[in-house]
Amino acid sequence: MDQYCILGRIGEGAHGIVFKAKHVETGEIVALKKVALRRLEDGFPNQALREIKALQEMEDNQYVVQLKAVFPHGGGFVLAFEFMLSDLAEVVRHAQRPLAQAQVKSYLQMLLKGVAFCHANNIVHRDLKPANLLISASGQLKIADFGLARVFSPDGSRLYTHQVATR
Ligand code: ADP
Ligand code: MG
CATH of the domain at 72: 3.30.200.20
Q: What is the CATH number of the domain that holds 119?
A: 1.10.510.10
pLDDT in tens, 102-134: 999 999 999 999 999 999 998 999 999 999 999
Domain count, the chain: 2
Of 2, 127, 145, 155, the catalytic one is 127
In a domain, 157, yes or no: no
| 77 shares its domain with 13 | yes
pLDDT of residue 167: 65
Tell me the pTM: 0.90
| 70 shares its domain with 104 | no
| 70 shares its domain with 10 | yes
pLDDT of residue 158: 66
| 17 shares its domain with 59 | yes
Q: Which residues of 79-98 are buried (b: 16+ CB within 10 A; e: fewer)?
A: bbbbbbebbbeebeeeeeee
Residue 52 — pLDDT band, cuts 50, 70, 90? Answer: confident
22 annotated as ligand-binding: no
| 78 shares its domain with 90 | no
| 134 shares its domain with 107 | yes
pLDDT surpassing 60 at residue 40? no
Mean pLDDT calculated for residue range 7-36: 91
| 11 shares its domain with 73 | yes
In a domain, 65, yes or no: yes
| 12 shares its domain with 51 | yes
| H helix or E strand, kind and range, residue 7 | strand 4-12
pLDDT surpassing 80 at residue 46? no
Residue 118 identity: C
pLDDT of residue 140: 98
| 74 shares its domain with 8 | yes
How high does pLDDT run on average in the chain? 88
Residue 45 — pLDDT band, cuts 50, 70, 90? Answer: low
CA distance 46 to 70: 16
pLDDT of residue 161: 76
* Shortest-distance ligand to the CA of residue 65: 1
* Shortest-distance ligand to the CA of residue 30: 1
Residue 15 is part of which domain span? 4-82
